[in-house]
Amino acid sequence: MTATRLAVLGLSGRMGQAILGQLRDFPGVTLSGALASPTSRYLGQDAGEAFGHSTRGAVVVSDPAAAIRGANVAIDFTLPEATPANLAACVATGCPLVIGTTGHSAEVRAEIDAAARRIPVLLAPNMSLGVNLLLKLADLAARALDTDYDIEIYEAHHRHKKDAPSGTALRIGEVVAAARGTTLAESGDFVRHGLTGARRAGTIGFSVMRGGDVVVDHVLTFAGPGERIELTHRAHDRSGFARGALKAATWIVGRHAGLYSMQDVLGLESL
Provide the CATH number for the domain around residue 22: 3.40.50.720
Say yes or no to pLDDT of 1 above 70.
no
Q: 270 pLDDT exceeds 70?
A: no
pLDDT in tens, 93-145: 999 999 998 889 999 999 999 999 999 999 998 899 999 999 999 999 999 99
- Specify burial of residue 223 (Cβ count, 10 A radius: 0-12, 13-18, 19+): middle
Annotated catalytic, 161?
yes
Q: Are 75 and 181 within one domain?
A: no
Instruction: Inform me whether the pLDDT recorded for 262 exceeds 80.
Output: yes
Could you give the C-alpha distances from 67 to 9, 13, 140, 243, 262, in angstroms and in order? 8, 16, 41, 21, 24
How many angstroms separate the CA atoms of 145 and 248, rounded? 32
Residue 147 lies inside a defined structural domain of this protein: yes
pLDDT confidence of residue 177: 98
- The set of residues, in sequence order, having a beta carbon less than 8 Å from that of 241 and lying 6+ positions away, is 15, 18, 100, 126, 127, 128, 235
* 218, 232 Cβ separation under 8 angstroms: yes
Instruction: Give the pLDDT score at 3.
Output: 84
What pLDDT shows up at residue 162? 87
260 within domain boundaries: yes
Q: In this prediction, what percent of the chain has a pLDDT beyond 70?
A: 98
Residue 249 contacts residue 265 (beta carbons within 8 Å): no
pLDDT of residue 91 exceeding 80, the answer is yes
Averaged over 202-222, what is the pLDDT? Answer: 96
Predicted confidence (pLDDT) per residue in 44-71, tens digit: 998 888 777 767 778 999 999 999 999 9
Cα first-last separation, the chain: 26
CB 124 within 8 A of CB 166: no
CATH number at residue 164: 3.30.360.10
> Do 144 and 168 fall within a single domain?
yes
Assigned domain for 220 exists? yes
Q: Which one of the listed residues 104, 136, 161, 193 is annotated catalytic?
A: 161
* CA–CA distance, 233 with 235 (Å, rounded to integer): 7
Catalytic residue status for 162? no
pLDDT at 49: 82
Question: Is residue 271 in a domain?
Answer: no
Indicate whether 108 belongs to any domain: yes
Average pLDDT on 20-31 reads 91
In the prediction, which pLDDT does 167 show?
A: 87
Co-location of 103 and 171 in the same domain? no
- Residue at 161 is within a domain: yes
Reduced to 3 states (helix: H, G, I; strand: E, B; else coil), residue 84 is helix
Which of 157, 218, 233, 247 is catalytic? The answer is 157
* Contact present, 262 and 141 (Cβ < 8 Å): no
> For residues 48 and 14, what is the distance between their CA atoms, to the nearest angstrom?
15
Same domain, 180 and 73: no
Residue 38 in any domain: the answer is: yes
Range of the domain at 85: 4-127+238-266
Looking at the structure of the chain, the number of domains it has is: 2
Q: pLDDT for 162-171, tens place per residue?
A: 889 998 999 9
Pair (114, 243) in one structural domain:
yes
Is 80:103 a contact under the CB 8 Å cutoff? yes
Establish whether the linkage from the previous residue to 80 is cis, with ω within 30° of 0.
no
